[in-house]
Amino acid sequence: MPPVVIDFDKVAEVGLKGVRRAAVFMGLGLNAAHDPAFKSYQLSSIQNVQTKMHMELIPSNVNDDTLGHFKTEFGAWIIANGLREVTERYAVFLDGIHQVCQFVACSKQKLEPTAAEKRDSTFRRKGIEYKLQKLDLRFGVKPRYPDFVVSINKARNCLTHRLGKVGSEDRNQGQALEVKWTGMDFQIELESEKILSANEFFGVVLPEPGTAQLKFIERCKSFPIGTLIRFEMHDLAEVCNFMLDSIRAVAGAAVQYARSVGVSIQEKD
């Protein structure tokens, strides 16, 4: 019997493609929302050639305040849909990883096929937090910051189901929803070991020699109950990059699980 080939890169691409799509679509949408010159908001007029009737869904001559309101709401809508794309594709990616890990376990007689089928059916119906917990419990497969992924999914749920207004069901830290991810900061460490951030050394002469370095930093935005979730474009870019890293980490952990039970993994050239 020929060996079974598992393409972990193909499994990961489901999630990676979803995050890249969301990044592009949020960029297109938010750039339009923030561009003062972009004022085209009409979907289409409704016309009937026979009766020569003409109807507009929305008036074509709204004032600047109303147009500004349209664009603010559009920006929030774009973010909600972008994060939904990110998290839903991530969940589908986790389904694929779970299925592969179960296949590996069955191939090594560590799991009965009937039990695997039942577990997989339940797994696919659950949310991201459950999926992350079960992957870790069953196979030791997890991202570097599972709680951060869960917090991003909580923000997505709030934006989708409560129009971004934080409710008691969204909170994960006291009376607030804390959304976390990792970003990169450009720093300089002086010989005296003092650390200067980018806004402290650009355009100024350093008092002493130093070493430039990129450092991964934990980001956190806290939204108390009753407030609206708001993200800047830079935040969203970092969130997307964080989710890409999370997908790669989970895929890598799945490869290590397969190796740990004796499955030979062939590296790609």
Residue 80 lies in a domain: yes
Q: Which residue has the higher pLDDT, 215 or 54?
A: 215
**Number of domains forming the structure of the chain:** 1
Owning domain of residue 72: 8-39+63-260
Q: Within a domain: residue 50?
A: no
Q: What is the pTM of this model?
A: 0.86
Q: Is the pLDDT of residue 188 over 90?
A: no
Segment 64-90 mean pLDDT: 94
Collapsing DSSP to helix, strand or coil, 241 comes out as helix
Span 31-65, pLDDT tens digits: 999 999 998 887 766 666 565 666 666 777 889 89
Is residue 92 domain-resident? yes
Instruction: Please check the confidence at residue 123 and state whether its pLDDT lies above 50.
Output: yes
Identity at 217, one-letter amino acid code: I
Residue 246 within a domain:
yes
Q: Does residue 52 sit within a domain?
A: no
231 CB-side CA count, 13 A: 30
- Counted residue by residue, the chain has a size of 269
Residue 80 to residue 16: CA distance in whole angstroms: 18
Q: Is residue 187 part of a domain?
A: yes
% residues pLDDT > 90 (the chain): 68
Q: Is residue 1 situated within a structural domain?
A: no
- 177 is written with which tokens? 């929803």
How many CA atoms does the CB half-sphere of 155 hold within 13 Å?
32
CA atoms of 233 and 245, how far apart (whole Å)? 19
When pLDDT is cut at 50, 70 and 90, the band that residue 96 belongs to is very high
Tell me, yes or no, whether 211 lies in a domain.
yes
